[in-house]
Amino acid sequence: MTTLEKGDKAPNFSAKDQDGNTHSLSDYKGKKLVVFFYPKANTPGCTAEACDLRDNFTRFQAKNYALLGVSADNAKAQSNFKNKYEFPFPLLADEDKAVIQAFGVWGPKKFMGKEYDGIHRTTFVINENGIIDEVITSVKTKAHAAQILG
């Protein structure tokens, strides 16, 4: 789905989180950044994935990683999701899909025999210099931290 690959420069994005704070790629220079795209807040797979990342958050911090979740949900939905599960990382409310399109994770999907356009669950691991170190397209929602940290 995405055309971005390991070794590519990460798209220079800018979007607001659940509290209206703007996050840009440049804010994370000098840190490793995990940008995980998920289809919809408060759905079973997305909840499992984000909770796994939350439960391993100290491991990410110990390795100088910052985490950013992204979906097309509005700020209120993202805020409710973040507060309900006490996520220690921001969730970007990418309603205009600018970040989603920049990373190339929007496209045709199939679910129960129906085709529609939506967000492909994809995670990008970006190094301290803004270069993509890893693209994970087969996300294991209940063991995603292990996929990233090894």
Active-site residue, 51 included: no
Residue from 91, 87, 18, 92 nearest 54 by CA: 87
> 19 near 79, Cβ under 8 Å?
yes
Distances (CA, A) of 93 to 57, 87, 134: 21, 15, 23
Active-site hit among 4, 15, 25, 46 = 46
CA distance 6 to 4: 7
> 2 near 132, Cβ under 8 Å?
no
**Active-site annotation, residues:** 46
